[in-house]
Amino acid sequence: MEIVRSHRQVAAAAAAAGGGGGAGALPTYKAAPQLEVRLEEFELFAIDRLRVLKGISDGLSRGKRPEEMEKLVSELWKTHMRHQDPAETLNKDIISHFVLRLVYCRTEELRKWFLSMETTLFRYRFRLESPESQRMLMTEFQLPYKALPHSEFEAVKDKLSQVARSIGQSANVEHVFFKVPFEEVPDLVASRRVFLSKGYAYVAMSQVVSLVVTQFRCNISKALALTNRKWTATIKEQEKDRLTPIVEALSNAYFGPDYSQPKDAVDISLKDIDQLAKSSFPLCMRHMLDKLRENHHLKHGGRMQFGLFLKGAGLKLEDALAFWRAEFSQKIGSERFDKEYAYTIRHNYGKEGKRTDYTPYSCQKIISATPGVGDHHGCPFRHFGEENLRAALNKMGVGGHALEEIMDKVKNRHYQLACTLTFETTHGVSCDSGINHPNQYFSESQKVLRAKNQTMESQSQSAT
Amino acid sequence: MEIDDQKQQQLEAPAAVPEGFNTDYLRVYYDGKHPGCDQSYVGRREFSFTLENDIYLRFQSFDSAAELESSIKEKCPFKIDIGPVYSVDPSKRHAYAQSGNNVFVPVERELIFDIDISDYDDVRYCCSGADVCSDCWPLMTIAIKILDTSLRDDFGFSHILWVYSGRRGVHCWVCDSRARKLSNEQRAAIADYFRVYKGGENALKKVSLAGPVLHPFLARSYMDVLKTFFEDRLLLSQQLFSSERCQKILDLIPDENVASEVHDKWQGNRRSSVSKEDVNVTRWEQLKTTLQSGKHKGLRRCVEEIVFSYTYPRLDMEVVFVFQLIPVTVMILILQLFRLYHRYGP
């Protein structure tokens, strides 16, 4: 893999080798660049690009319209990838793409996600390019079409309008058309989405974008499969002390606040936990508390997920120890608890061993967990069966139309959106940022409740 | 190479149909009826013969018209099929198999469509299956008209041969070199472009024309051919609105209330009609007025959908892909003749 080897080579300019894009700023990533990449850049560039891709993923799952997506992509790119020097931007663009190929080639699920996001990114960046740049890109994808000259356009304008309207689009919106032999656009011919005359299809710009994007997607898909083979065969082992750990960490990266040091340090105390669970815990944590109270035990996955959450919510170490001991000792006795479980809790607070302060799990991590028999961790929206989930939501006071909306989100695998909706329903407010961390759910919830209390207080004050 | 012009010259006058079938008749028929053909090209064309006793010979090829002629006269096939043009001489294909890679592949093949009158059984009452009469044959002729126009105006083809397929329909052979080089995907795309009728056995309503307006191809077909044919000929020849048959049309209306409203009106009017005009015409006008009144949502295209259901060409979607062999049992119908038939009937 070229990137890897080039670590040992001397720096070279990015623009020339970058894998295409001609004079335009939009590379097609056809070939890995012959560049030197510093190890820090390797990781940092990839992280920045990942922020863009995750932002896109977020936008898509919120059902943003094309115009909104276009704006979003432009903003994301500007925020995370743009450099004053266009050559530097291109450099980062290309390197980050190829690094992420390594990261996301390793499983079917990762490949699908990466392919989908990169294709979307490419689609909207293409739309934002200038006409000349677009034409150059079209040539690169073997779509060297010539735009229809004005006189010809005028002659067939009515028919083109008619076709647009026949497929449910507004007439007279598109002004750039290409005259293409019908053999080259079989899909458009088959679905009667183009005007045909004397063997030529009149293809709108937006349709050409589709053709370009389809090819791009096809190329990346093949490349990912290839990369995976190379990774498995040689690179992973070769780089096990250097790149491999970085690559493996990147695929689980989370980009919100980490809640390891609770800022709004509202210390939650032992006696508050049950009350707080009812009012402010997300469903996953409520569930685990219920089960802990019921069984006086939680298996390892649950102890980690719930324990770290409590830490992030502001539970002090001594209180945490007391909390778990109170429950576990009912089943196994306090001596065994002290011998076998206390250590782990102290470990989670960074008081033992490596002394790493463990950060509470994000939704992404929780959703991707694989709870087994007897486990209660994971994300209920993903891991519960439909009946159980409905029952659990009912217990939270969610029913009727809202419940159906939530179940619909679950069916479409938008688990975090389902949780966000749950939050919105139970708190009576909207949550635009969306839930992506259980501690975020908790702190947002506390904010809402505090605000409500203040309102009530001032109301009662003014009433007296 | 260009054999397009020569193909045009193959067109022949119709032959007399023999009284009874006899192998001798075959001999007589075959004598003197052979097309001229281009030397190098035809050598790679596959023919297949079905002989007496169902003996089937594939991968026959000939280097000249004379060779083809003598082989036919000698073997007297009951059925001849024409296949694609291959990369090498089909009868010598085994020699090339040694060299490993797929050397023996079909490279050229006319674009072919097949329309079968039996596919129209659900909209004709006069005949069924392989039977044809002067009332329902026009369904074929307008299908030819629509497809022929589109193949020329939309796709730019010009060497188009329409042939009676000998039993119950027509074949269309597009012989332009551009057509011969089409891939299977491209052929399928053209067939889909023509496809409007999408129902299976169970779908009641098989034509659905979405969108506020029709694609220019469909609009042109409707305005220039289908509307007139439906209103001036088919309505009457098939008595589509007779009491027993009108329910079928009403079933195509997606709004049940409207359908039963119209139905009740017709029931009521049955005895009191004093108009000299044919009941089919009257009822169609009434139905059109109701559907186009704009009072009912979702019925915008219903009139066109009804017309298309009854008259639009129904292609056999097993469109010929490059590998298939096509029977050419009796070549008697040509485009000029089709115009005659259209006026006078089969």
* Per-residue model confidence as pLDDT tens digits over A306-337: 999 999 898 988 899 999 999 999 998 888 89
Q: How far apart are CA B200 and CA B98, in angstroms?
A: 46
Q: How far apart are CA B259 and CA B256, in angstroms?
A: 5
Q: How far apart are CA A61 and CA A88, in angstroms?
A: 31
Query: Residues B114, B148, B261, B316: which is the catalytic one?
Result: B114
| Residues of B with Cβ-Cβ distance to A167 under 8 angstroms | 211
In this prediction, residue A10 has a pLDDT band, given cuts at 50, 70 and 90, of very low
pLDDT for A58-99, tens place per residue? Answer: 888 777 888 899 999 999 999 999 888 888 899 899 999 999
Average pLDDT of chain A is 84
Q: How far is A158 from chain B (nearest CA, A)?
A: 10
Query: Can you give the residue ranges of every domain in chain A?
Result: 29-133+215-251, 150-212, 272-463
Q: Which residue of A has its CA nearest to B182?
A: A183
Which range has the worst mean pLDDT, A140-154, A238-252, A311-325, B150-164? Answer: A238-252
Tell me the pairing of strands B169-174 and A195-197: unpaired
Beta-carbon contacts of A406 under 8 Å, excluding residues fewer than 6 positions away, are A381, A393, A398, A418, A421, A422, A425
- Of the residues A158, A161, A162, A195, the best mutation for testing chain B's interface (the one with the most B CB atoms within 10 Å of its CB) is A162
Using a CB–CB cutoff of 8 Å, tell me whether A180 touches chain B. no
φ, ψ at A180 (rounded to 5°): -130, 140
Highest mean pLDDT among A20-29, A202-211, A452-461, B34-43: A202-211
Interface predicted TM-score of the whole assembly (ipTM), two decimals: 0.75
Q: How far is B154 from chain A (nearest CA, A)?
A: 4
Q: What pLDDT score does A256 carry?
A: 56
> Could B155 and A182 be called an inter-chain contact, meaning their C-beta atoms sit closer than 8 Å?
yes
Choose the CATH number for A29-133+215-251 among 3.30.465.10, 1.20.930.80, 3.40.50.2300, 1.20.120.1460: 1.20.930.80
- Of the residues B184, B196, B215, B308, the best mutation for testing chain A's interface (the one with the most A CB atoms within 10 Å of its CB) is B215
Q: DSSP secondary-structure letter at B197?
A: B
pLDDT tens digit at each of 346 positions of chain B: 333 333 333 333 233 333 344 455 444 444 434 343 444 566 788 888 888 888 888 888 887 777 877 888 888 877 777 777 887 788 877 777 666 566 777 778 888 888 888 888 888 888 888 888 888 889 999 999 999 999 999 999 998 888 887 667 888 888 888 998 888 888 889 998 998 876 655 555 678 787 788 999 999 999 999 999 999 998 888 888 888 888 888 888 888 888 888 888 887 766 555 566 788 888 899 888 888 887 777 787 889 999 999 999 988 766 555 555 555 543 333 333 333 444 444 3
Identity of the residue numbered B157 = F
Using a CB–CB cutoff of 8 Å, tell me whether A195 touches chain B. yes
> Could B210 and A168 be called an inter-chain contact, meaning their C-beta atoms sit closer than 8 Å?
yes
> Could A189 and B190 be called an inter-chain contact, meaning their C-beta atoms sit closer than 8 Å?
yes
| Residues of A with Cβ-Cβ distance to B223 under 8 angstroms | none
CA geometry: angle at B197 spanning B306 and A170, to 5°?
A: 80
Task: Check if B116 is active-site.
Answer: yes
Using a CB–CB cutoff of 8 Å, tell me whether A197 touches chain B. yes
Question: Higher-confidence residue: A26 or B11?
Answer: A26
Q: Using CB atoms, pick whichever of A163, A189, A197 lies closest to residue B193.
A: A189
Which range has the worst mean pLDDT, A205-209, A304-308, A424-428, B328-332? Answer: B328-332
Mutual orientation of helices A86-104 and A243-250 as an angle, nearest 10°?
Answer: 90
Report residue A79 as tokens.
């925020």
Question: Higher-confidence residue: A20 or B193?
Answer: B193
> Could A162 and B153 be called an inter-chain contact, meaning their C-beta atoms sit closer than 8 Å?
no
Q: Does the annotation flag A379 for ligand binding?
A: yes
Q: Which residue of B has its CA nearest to A200?
A: B155
| Residues of A with Cβ-Cβ distance to B210 under 8 angstroms | 168
Q: How far apart are CA A419 and CA A424, in angstroms?
A: 9
Q: How far apart are CA A303 and CA A377, in angstroms?
A: 8
CA geometry: angle at A228 spanning A225 and A234, to 5°?
A: 140
Q: Using CB atoms, pick whichever of A165, A196, A198 lies closest to residue B212.
A: A165
Using a CB–CB cutoff of 8 Å, tell me whether A155 touches chain B. no
Using a CB–CB cutoff of 8 Å, tell me whether A172 touches chain B. no
> Could B211 and A166 be called an inter-chain contact, meaning their C-beta atoms sit closer than 8 Å?
yes
CA geometry: angle at B305 spanning A171 and A194, to 5°?
A: 35
Q: How far is B190 from chain A (nearest CA, A)?
A: 6
> Could A165 and B219 be called an inter-chain contact, meaning their C-beta atoms sit closer than 8 Å?
no
| Residues of A with Cβ-Cβ distance to B214 under 8 angstroms | 162, 166
Q: How far apart are CA B210 and CA B222, in angstroms?
A: 15
Question: Higher-confidence residue: B107 or A52?
Answer: A52
| Residues of B with Cβ-Cβ distance to A159 under 8 angstroms | 216
> Could B157 and A159 be called an inter-chain contact, meaning their C-beta atoms sit closer than 8 Å?
no
pLDDT for A262-290, tens place per residue? Answer: 555 567 888 889 999 999 999 999 999 99
Q: Does the annotation flag A218 for ligand binding?
A: no
Q: Using CB atoms, pick whichever of B186, B192, B216 lies closest to residue A159.
A: B216
Using a CB–CB cutoff of 8 Å, tell me whether A199 touches chain B. yes
| Residues of A with Cβ-Cβ distance to B193 under 8 angstroms | 189-190, 192, 196
Query: Residues B81, B110, B116, B119: which is the catalytic one?
Result: B116
Q: What pLDDT score does A309 carry?
A: 94
Cα dihedral B306, B312, B318, B324 in deg (nearest 10): 170
Report residue B312 as tokens.
């639009």
Q: Which residue of A has its CA nearest to B211?
A: A166
Q: Which residue of B has its CA nearest to A194?
A: B215
Residues shown for chain A: 464
Q: What pLDDT score does B270 carry?
A: 60
